[in-house]
């Protein structure tokens, strides 16, 4: 069994090396150092390269977000598919071009995709952050009975939306569903703000203390990922009497 796994590993690495036209010496390393050579090849030419490509794409998007949009606009012009249109709308939403996002998402809601959950939830989001709260509520109503809605970002925004409409009790019920230990820090921070807005300072203090206490036992990667939210929780806790 072990022998066949090595052969399969060599075969994959050799095929990857050939199809990607990597340096010929990798073939020699894969053949004459079956395990070590193959593992080194995988790390340097498959795993690490993917990470580098991902980082480069992320940096490009931050430094020049319009390039991503321009590229996606060209892709949509070349092939007007549902996937290309939604990808472009996502890019608009990411850089807060809400009107462009709304128009592009709406254009994708046709034929078999007329009731697509993802697109409708994104239309809800775009309208919400455009302060079109009535429109956001209408889109949320279209998907709130979908099983995907529970504990989704759409449900979170819906809770904030109906709070603005005056349904505070239902908003609190929905927001509380996001209160789970070691998770959903953005939603839990917003729940704490909700408590403060409605004079439930004891609940806010308890929740914020939980978040701060959890942060003390986090792994370094998890802490780095949630650092800004934890910092905001500490600042908010300091203001709660």
Classify residue 114 by burial, with Cβ atoms within 10 Å: 0-12, 13-18, 19+: exposed
pLDDT of residue 110 exceeding 80, the answer is: yes
- Which among 76, 78, 145 has a CA at the least distance from the CA of 105? 76
pLDDT at 10: 74
**Residue ranges per structural domain of the chain:** 1-63, 64-177, 182-241
pLDDT, average across residues 187-213: 96
Q: So what CATH class is 64-177?
A: mainly alpha
pLDDT of residue 5 exceeding 70, the answer is: no
pLDDT at 40: 80
pLDDT, average across residues 112-138: 97
pLDDT at 33: 72
d(CA 107, CA 98): 14
pLDDT at 89: 96
32-36, 56-60, 121-125: the lowest-pLDDT one: 56-60
- Which among 40, 47, 43, 38 has a CA at the least distance from the CA of 13? 38
In the block, residue with structure tokens 């650092």: 227
pLDDT at 29: 74
pLDDT in tens, 54-87: 434 444 444 456 788 999 999 999 999 999 999 9
d(CA 107, CA 96): 18
pLDDT at 109: 95
pLDDT in tens, 136-159: 999 999 999 999 999 999 999 999
Name the band, by pLDDT with cuts 50, 70 and 90, for residue 134.
very high
d(CA 152, CA 121): 9
CA of 46: how far to CAs of 22, 36, 50, 53, 188, in Å?
11, 15, 6, 10, 38
pLDDT at 52: 40
pLDDT at 20: 67
> What is the percent of the chain where pLDDT is above 70?
84
pLDDT in tens, 8-33: 767 777 777 666 666 666 777 777 77
pLDDT, average across residues 86-99: 95
């Amino acid at each position: 069994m072990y022998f066949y796994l090595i052969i399969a590993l060599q075969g994959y690495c050799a095929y990857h090396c050939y199809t990607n036209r990597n340096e010929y010496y990798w073939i020699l390393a894969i053949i004459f150092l079956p395990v070590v050579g193959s593992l080194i090849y995988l790390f340097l030419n498959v795993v690490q390269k993917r990470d580098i490509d991902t980082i480069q794409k992320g940096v490009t998007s931050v430094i020049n977000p319009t390039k991503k949009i321009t590229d996606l606009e060209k892709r949509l012009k070349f092939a007007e598919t549902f996937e290309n249109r939604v990808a472009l709308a996502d890019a608009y939403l990411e850089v807060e071009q809400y009107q462009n996002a709304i128009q592009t998402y709406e254009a994708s809601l046709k034929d078999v995709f007329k009731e697509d959950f993802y697109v409708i939830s994104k239309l809800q989001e775009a309208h919400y952050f455009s302060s079109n709260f009535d429109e956001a509520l209408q889109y949320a109503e279209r998907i709130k009975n979908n099983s995907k809605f529970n504990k989704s970002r759409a449900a979170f925004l819906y809770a904030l939306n109906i709070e603005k409409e005056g349904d505070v009790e239902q908003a609190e019920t929905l927001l509380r569903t996001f209160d789970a230990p070691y998770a959903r820090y953005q939603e839990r921070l917003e729940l704490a703000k909700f408590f403060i807005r409605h004079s439930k300072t004891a609940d806010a203090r308890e929740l914020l203390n939980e978040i701060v206490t959890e942060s003390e036992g986090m792994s370094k990667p998890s802490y780095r990922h949630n650092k800004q939210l934890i910092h905001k929780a500490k600042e908010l806790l300091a203001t709660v009497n």
